[in-house]
Amino acid sequence: MRFTVWGSRGSHPTVLTPAAIQSKIATVVQRIRPIDLVSQDARERFLASLPEWLFGSTSGNTACVQLELNDSNQLVFDAGSGIIGLGQSQKMRDPAPMEYHLFFTHFHYDHIQGLPFFVPAYNPQVEMHFYSPLEDLHETLSRQMIHPYFPVTMDGTMGSKKFFHKLTQEGVELYGARVIWRELNHPGRAFGYRVDYGGRSFGYITDVELLESDFEQNRANARVFSDLDVLILDAQYTLDEAIEKINWGHSSFSLAVDFAKAWNTRRLFLFHHEPQYNDRKLEQNLQAARRYAVGIKGGALDVYLAREGTTIDV
């Protein structure tokens, strides 16, 4: 299995403003020494030496993660604005996929707003399968594509064959992978997912304001949360901000580390980045999360930022 982050920003898409781009360029220029310019190799070495927060950006698009089980089969989690890029990337695949399986954590805008622009969904030969533990999935999704909010409808112009699946407690088996879910503490309800395939496990758990009950070592929790090779987890805030924003439905990066350690996660990817945090701030949060992960008891845990455009083996 491998996953690609197409969007990891929370709440709303975040553009790099002209001022932010200018500031990055100015900072890079200040770091250049004459020796960095003497050859093509030297220039490439210099660029490779720049930190990720400076040479690039963490993510502008909202939630969408593609999970490729192997070279031919894939699952998709959430349809934030990141899914637009995923859709465009699909024409590069040979053969072009004719089947998509799209799981929704919930239906806040940042998790559905890219769907009307997902190009494969307009191909009449494509099958689109949508999944949620909630009723009314068809109605919920099609209501964002009606006049006066959008010029074409889901049941009309969006011409793919569509299938709406209400997930039962057992979850679903697809291409030999098992997908199960657990309800999360989030305003209006949200659901986290776990995928087991080929002896590896992947968790996609957002949006969630973690509670003490999420740490309880009971079977229902363990079934979804325990021993994940990769966990993509809501870590929108710093601890200070999380205390100010109780009941907003998101977690701090330190609580995310506590949770990952409590459930014996191998690799944690901080997700649902706060739109007010710039790349430098997100990097500072990452470094603080890493220090915290070393400082508390439990097994070894590697912590990363979920960065848009990266593909990682599970």
Give residues in contact with Zn ion (CB under 5 A): 10, 108, 110, 207
Q: Environment class of residue 99 by beta-carbon count within 10 Å: exposed (0-12), middle (13-18) or buried (19+)?
A: middle
Contacts (Cβ under 8 Å, ≥6 apart) of 258? 210, 215, 296
Q: For tokens 């975040």, name the residue.
A: 14
d(CA 200, CA 166): 25
Neighbours of 222 (CB within 10 A): 13
Q: Which is nearer to Zn ion, 10 or 120 (CB)?
A: 10
Q: How far is the CB of 108 from Zn ion (least distance, A)?
A: 4
Q: How far is the CB of 131 from Zn ion (least distance, A)?
A: 17
Q: Which is nearer to Zn ion, 78 or 196 (CB)?
A: 78
Q: How far is the CB of 274 from Zn ion (least distance, A)?
A: 11
Q: How far is the CB of 26 from Zn ion (least distance, A)?
A: 33
Q: Which is nearer to Zn ion, 194 or 250 (CB)?
A: 250
Contacts (Cβ under 8 Å, ≥6 apart) of 266? 228, 229, 230, 301, 302
Q: How far is the CB of 190 from Zn ion (least distance, A)?
A: 6
Q: Which is nearer to Zn ion, 24 or 108 (CB)?
A: 108
d(CA 164, CA 166): 7
Q: How far is the CB of 189 from Zn ion (least distance, A)?
A: 10
Closest-approach residue to Zn ion (CB): 108
Q: How far is the CB of 96 from Zn ion (least distance, A)?
A: 30
Bond prior to 36 in cis (omega within 30° of 0): no
d(CA 211, CA 312): 29
d(CA 38, CA 225): 51
Q: Which is nearer to Zn ion, 196 or 274 (CB)?
A: 274
Cα–Cα distance list, 229 to 1, 209, 260 (Å):
11, 22, 11
Q: Which is nearer to Zn ion, 110 or 258 (CB)?
A: 110
Q: Which is nearer to Zn ion, 164 or 248 (CB)?
A: 248
